[in-house]
Chain A
């Protein structure tokens, strides 16, 4: 049933598919969509950390990935404001 391997391999599949999706997925020429696609491997990594009982690492990762998304979106918005080609 839902044993520990289920969570682990679900995480593995999510990480690999999500990273492929954010590299060659649909619509990734838009940097916002590419940034949002990165959330899928982030969920997979969270499942893997959960499998290993790394609670503090999981909490810190959630906080850090939020800040990273904010920084990336700020960079995208400012570069678009400047009229750089994206």
Chain B
């Protein structure tokens, strides 16, 4: 089974041969997910089933089979994650309003009193941030951000001053601009590709790291509530 579209020579014939089966699989899985959502009455079940549609979308993206697929899978995943997060929050707040009673922000009794949380965080954070800075890019940002997230969650201090929030958000915005400038240099002045590469890689690294550490600050506000 071969694809009848124009394919550049650099794409391996195995990937070209797998294109149509992969696309059909994606469409079948997407149809299964969408049909089940349309028959589903309960909102929570419909939210869980949107995951199937996301998997179908990822299969179609992956069927491209080159580096383009890798670069397209990442935004697809991030969008799916944000969508599920937002809809689950909406479901919960609607249920809270419907019942008209006040509930805790975090229902589980999270009494985090383990020794590893007082001795390990600095070591973990340093190792993860150093390794993330070595990797750079989106993956490095995720790893370094995970280190900072763990560090921030386990520290005992409560109440973050507003200017720290705004400073982190502003720094991540500036890093995002560096990323955009890097991409612009790729197209405007291709001779400086190394500069553009490093601007993009470290811009997105700093941005993802700061975003993850903001999530850590939020998580600490929830965990250390009592």
Decide if B2 is an interface residue (CB 8 Å cutoff). no
A53 to B59, CA, bound (A): 13
Contact residues of A between 26 and 61, Cβ < 8 Å to B = 31, 34-35, 38, 41-42, 45, 48-49, 51-52, 54, 56-57, 59-61
Contact residues of B between 55 and 102, Cβ < 8 Å to A = 55-56, 58-59, 62-63, 65, 69-70, 73-74, 77-78, 80-81, 84-85, 88, 91-92, 95-96, 99
Contact residues of A between 59 and 86, Cβ < 8 Å to B = 59-61, 63-64, 67-68, 71-72, 74-79, 81-86
In the complex, the answer to whether A61 meets B58 with C-beta atoms within 8 Å is yes
In the complex, the answer to whether A57 meets B73 with C-beta atoms within 8 Å is yes
- Chain A contacts of B52 at CB under 8 A? 19, 22-23, 38, 41
In the complex, the answer to whether B107 meets A54 with C-beta atoms within 8 Å is no
In the complex, the answer to whether B95 meets A84 with C-beta atoms within 8 Å is yes
- Chain B contacts of A77 at CB under 8 A? 107-108
- Chain A contacts of B85 at CB under 8 A? 71
Contact residue among B22, B62, B78, B84 (Cβ-Cβ distance under 8 Å from A71)? B84
Main secondary structure of the interface of A (DSSP, over half): helix
Which listed segment binds A: B25-33, B126-134, B157-165?
B25-33
10 pairs, A vs B, C-beta closer than 8 Å: A20-B32, A48-B62, A60-B142, A64-B80, A74-B88, A75-B44, A75-B88, A78-B92, A78-B107, A79-B44
In the complex, the 6 A-B pairs of residues with the closest C-beta atoms, listed nearest first: A57-B73, A75-B88, A23-B36, A64-B77, A81-B107, A19-B52
Q: Hey, which bits of chain B sit against chain A, CB under 8 A?
A: 14-15, 18, 21-22, 25, 28-29, 32-33, 36, 42, 44-45, 47-49, 51-52, 55-56, 58-59, 62-63, 65, 69-70, 73-74, 77-78, 80-81, 84-85, 88, 91-92, 95-96, 99, 103, 107-108, 138-139, 142
